[in-house]
Structure 1
Amino acid sequence: MNTAIIGYGVYIPRYRLKVEEIANIWGEDGERIKSSLMVNEKSVPGSDEDTATIAVEAARNAIARSQIDSEELGAIYVGSESHPYAVKPTATVVAEAIRAAPELTAADFEFACKAGTAGIQTCMGMVESGICKYGMAIGADTAQCKPGGALEYTAAAGGAAYIIGENGEDDIAKIDGTFSYTTDMPDFWRREMEPYPEHGGRFTGEPAYFKHVLSAANGLLRQLELTPEDYDYAVFHQPNGKFPLKAAKRLGFPTEKVEPGLIIPDIGNTYSGSALIGLASVLDQAKPGDRIFLVSFGSGAGSDAFSLTVGEGVNKNADSSPKVSDYVNDKKYISYGEYTKSRGLLVK
């Protein structure tokens, strides 16, 4: 393959809601829930933040890191399941905000939590075919959850943007290969006009997350004739803290290769941003020559797996935009009342 990551950026809202704060409202045991989910707190968007504003901030950070002219972007794709408009693209808002419009193609993607990695694959195709020089893929969400429901403890907000271009000496990471695995699986859904999603309980684990993540991962390893021992880091979609560690163990990746990208304990599940923020956390720490294994997951269901080799560009412009740790550590705790008011939540 002749494509690489030449820029990336993230954005995570600074407001945080602790798991025990949620648990106290509903008469639950906060410590038990924290231990069960391996999540301590989640990021919450401010009253003036949505998927579009999060995507714009991540995109600006990616441009700053890449040092390219935003007008060179030939494509922008925004993956999310919480686009602010049912009919009006988020991608055009991003394009105008970063001054990439009007000579480019843009679209919104939706595939639960893997729409961002689907955007990366589309950008790869656009660049490989010569249709555009650079493409930007964004995964961002302000995840919906029913008050009092199981998802409320993890559904969070945040996003990441990646600029894809041709291989070169200043690559942040070369894309060595990608492999996808997709089926029709009723594990998680939200019908039109419904405010909150539903999930299929027993379908969400083995037949959904693990089947797709493991199948995509093993498919790529076979395709590239590599093994977990060939990689320095592994990043998986993070619906909770336990699933990615369990998937890694079943594939043969030790915990120490997963922990650098395991950000869910501190910010929750950012849905389309989850795996991509995890990847950014790894890139913030990686050295040239390191290999990274990435697998996303989207309910409904599918997984995209990627193999990356870190390039010399990872050390250039490293301080031009905030790192994942900067956003994780810049936080302000809010009460459950402030949370429900800012989110306009409906108790049904």
Structure 2
Amino acid sequence: MKIGIDKIGFATAQYVLNMDDLAESRNVDPDKYSKGLLLNNLSITPVNDDIVTLGASAAESILSEEDKNTIDMIIVATESSVDQSKAASTYIHSLLGIQPFARSIEMKEACYGATAALDYARLHVQKHPESKVLVIASDVARYGVNTPGEPTQGAGSVAMLISKDPRILLLNDNSVAQTRDIMDFWRPNYSTTPYVNGIYSTKQYLDMLKTTWAEFQKRFNTSLADFSAFCFHLPFPKLALKGFNKVMDKNLPEDFKEKLKENFESTILYSKEVGNIYTGSLYLGLLSLLENSKNLVAGDQIALFSYGSGAVAEIFSATLVDGFKDMLQTNRLETLKNRIRLSVEDYEKLFFEEAAIDSEGNANIPEYKTGAFTLKEIHEHQRIYGKVNDK
């Protein structure tokens, strides 16, 4: 049975921080961000925009009423959960009006969680061919002011509809995963921001890429020559570039190496404007590739490297199907230009503002601009979401 991604959508915050502005405020050379990280802008969420609103907006942009009546599983992958018990997918299920007899869960393993969700979704459709599974990777990457991680923040959500006979790409039946018990990036329950060992994490990312890729090639008797593109997890685009250089086969013909390089450049276009979206970063890279590559055709194979600190990595592959371009958007970069540009002072106020909860667990939420959905209030410790402009 052919199973894969039938539709894919994206949503991000309505506010943006320019990296040159941040560099000037932090007294660093702008090249440190523009060339050292390959970043231009970061999406910034206000207090009424979170993984639920972003995830619902991303899914709403692609789902038909027929989809909502057929979906029988919603999986949200995140490391920015709004509740230690209740899954974000239950809120999204309600906001989207998906039929009631559906399973809703949340998955976590740092930035790897969405890949685990895809694996689960594919197995579910394999067992229940008429089912559709909505997989949402939704995160707000948040670090402290003037910390090393600050320029690698961001926010966004990628929604993918998994079904049989997909119209974008097939998920191939080949993958290799690897686990290491390491402390390169983590966030204890008592901390609102993560702890990061940046240099160590970079080394682990690249070493797990190298060793997992070697095992993948050995198990499936394949090589880079069999793929038209390679997508990477994108905590920041420069790290993905290092990964691309690590897997590059110097023995490939020059024209083929150039094709791979062109397609790699297509994978990072959106991340350069949005920043880090944790679980969705790999899939934002995939979306960026599909919507911006000039040479991909049906039948092309794409390799994907997923990485989540802690750490779990997986390499798998997908095949483009006939008509995939008809399912994509062509003006997304232009749309990103419509975000509201923040001063650094406004960014610090907006991004780190928290709901002021009173003794009864109530809070009025400021009405900042969001996508289709917003956090309206907190009432008796319960988060109340709704469509924008709905009373």
- TM normalised by structure 1 equals 0.90
Going from structure 1 to structure 2, the CA distance change for 1:345 and 1:196 (only over 3 Å counts) comes to: farther
Map Cα deviations across residues 211-265 of structure 1 (whole Å, 9 max, x no partner).
2223333333333322212212211011222211111121126422311111332
Tell me by how many angstroms 1:9 deviates.
0.8
Correspondence for 2:297:
287
Going from structure 1 to structure 2, the CA distance change for 1:223 and 1:326 (only over 3 Å counts) comes to: farther
Tell me by how many angstroms 1:131 deviates.
7.8
Separation of aligned partners in 2, 1:329 and 1:114:
29
Going from structure 1 to structure 2, the CA distance change for 1:218 and 1:331 (only over 3 Å counts) comes to: farther
Tell me by how many angstroms 1:162 deviates.
1.0
Separation of aligned partners in 2, 1:323 and 1:113:
27
Separation of aligned partners in 2, 1:7 and 1:143:
25
Q: Does 1:265 align with 2:272?
A: yes
Contact 1:78 1:107 (8 Å CA) reproduced: yes
Tell me by how many angstroms 1:327 deviates.
3.9
Correspondence for 1:114:
112
Correspondence for 1:232:
228
Tell me by how many angstroms 1:81 deviates.
0.9
User: What pairs up with 1:1-348 in 2 under 5 angstroms?
Assistant: 2-64=2-64, 68-130=66-128, 133-166=131-164, 168=165, 171-176=167-172, 177-206=174-203, 208-252=204-248, 254-262=260-268, 263-285=270-292, 286-318=296-328, 324-344=332-352
Larger radius of gyration: 2
Going from structure 1 to structure 2, the CA distance change for 1:95 and 1:323 (only over 3 Å counts) comes to: farther
Gaps of 5+ in 1: none
Greater shift, 305-314 or 150-159, is seen at 305-314
Contact 1:295 1:304 (8 Å CA) reproduced: yes
Greater shift, 183-192 or 280-289, is seen at 280-289
Gaps of 5+ in 2: 250-259, 355-391
Going from structure 1 to structure 2, the CA distance change for 1:184 and 1:101 (only over 3 Å counts) comes to: farther
Separation of aligned partners in 1, 2:102 and 2:182:
34
Going from structure 1 to structure 2, the CA distance change for 1:134 and 1:220 (only over 3 Å counts) comes to: farther
Separation of aligned partners in 2, 1:267 and 1:260:
14
Tell me by how many angstroms 1:313 deviates.
3.9
Map Cα deviations across residues 283-331 of structure 1 (whole Å, 9 max, x no partner).
2244322221111211111122221111124133445xx7643443333
Contact 2:67 2:132 (8 Å CA) reproduced: no
Partner-residue secondary structure (3-state), 2:7: strand
Correspondence for 2:358:
none
Contact 1:147 1:345 (8 Å CA) reproduced: no
One-letter amino acid matched to 2:343: S
Tell me by how many angstroms 1:163 deviates.
1.2
Contact 1:14 1:327 (8 Å CA) reproduced: no
Contact 1:142 1:158 (8 Å CA) reproduced: yes
Partner-residue secondary structure (3-state), 2:308: coil
Separation of aligned partners in 1, 2:335 and 2:316:
25
Partner-residue secondary structure (3-state), 2:36: helix
Map Cα deviations across residues 145-174 of structure 1 (whole Å, 9 max, x no partner).
0111111111100110111112x2x53101
Contact 1:114 1:297 (8 Å CA) reproduced: yes
Contact 1:21 1:335 (8 Å CA) reproduced: yes
Contact 1:82 1:144 (8 Å CA) reproduced: no
Correspondence for 2:378:
none
Identity of aligned residues (%): 24
